[in-house]
Amino acid sequence: RKEQELDSKDAIILHQFSRPNNGVPSLSPFCLKMETYLRMADLPYQNYFDGKLSPQGKMPWIEYNHKKVSGTEFIIDFLEEKLGVNLNKHLGPHERAVSRAVTKMVEEHFYWTLAYCQWVENLHETQKMVSLFGPFSDLLKWILCHLTKGIVKREMYGHGIGRFSEEEMYTLMEKDMRTLAGLLGDKKYIMGPNVSTVDATVFGHLAQAMWTLPGTRPERLIKGELINLAMYCERIRRKFWPEWHHDDDNTLYESEESSEASKTYSPLQDFSFYSRTETFDEEGNSISQTPDTDYTGHSLFDSDVDMDEYRDHEQCK
């Protein structure tokens, strides 16, 4: 297929994998991290679900003013420099150091145990979530998922974590999750009352355990003993992904601050067409523009909007 030339002048074009069919924005922790970051930073962006990897073989990656940047850490650094955004400006030197340490634990260690659970042990369920269309979609999904399984196992072995037994890998996963739960405690976000870049990273990974691994040990752990992580995921999902609904919307994961806000939602919209501005399909055609305000009139991308404001507003009514 002839490639469509994209005009990225003054526009952030986010290349990522196609949306899965289970309502979750992405099966990739890094794609979900990047898109969540853009929403937290209130940056307009355009999704491009072409599946094409960056020149470095990475996904996700962005184009901005015809410059291509891959690797979520380098993308964030690039956007901070070019656009002057900074979710960490309220953090001191010690907090920034802790934030980076947590990011590396999640991305370089916890990620691999999640990948094992998604693409090796729980492959059958993950295959059901992959979205492909056409007369041979089932066969293509089977081939794609089993190729991914082989790649994950090989890379895990090279990393070193794949040389342990399954039980040992799950022990490492549990330690990482308990560390995150202990660090979060009863705080609103990882580093305190305000969202920071590390929250996009942690959410992108924990969301996989929360919503893409039914019946597995990480799901049972996050929805059971480590309930503060589940409430944390719900808090971020409801604030920065208001169109993302789930069967658990009215369960015990609601916190006091989000219960009132959760009672009013607009109908679920197709994730494939969602962005602050317009979204391109695989052929480069402009598809649609979705509302960028919630039911209170606040911007859906405003990281300063506090859920307590919604609750107070409802009580006054």
Residue-level pLDDT at 130: 85
Asked whether residue 60 is assigned to any structural domain, the reply reads: yes
Give the mean pLDDT of the chain.
80
Amino acid 252: pLDDT: 45
Range of the domain at 204: 12-241
In a domain, 30, yes or no: yes
Is residue 183 pLDDT above 80, yes or no? yes
Whether 201 is in a domain gets the answer yes
CATH of the domain at 189: 1.20.1050.130
Q: What's the pLDDT band for 246 if we cut at 50, 70, 90?
A: low
Q: Decide if pLDDT at 276 tops 90.
A: no
Express as a percent the part of the chain with pLDDT over 90: 58
**Spatial distance between the Cα atoms of 31 and 58, rounded to a whole number of angstroms:** 10
Q: Is residue 314 part of a domain?
A: no
200 part of a folded domain: yes
pLDDT band for position 140 (50/70/90)? confident
Give the model's pLDDT for residue 56. 87
Which residues, 6 or more positions from 25, have their beta carbon under 8 angstroms from its beta carbon? Answer: 19, 31, 32, 35, 241, 244, 271
Q: Is residue 91 part of a domain?
A: yes
Full-model pTM: 0.78
**275 located within any domain:** no
Helix axes 166-184, 197-211, angle to 10 degrees: 130
Report how many domains make up the chain: 1
- Whether residue 216 lies inside any domain: the answer is yes
**SS3 (DSSP) at 299:** strand
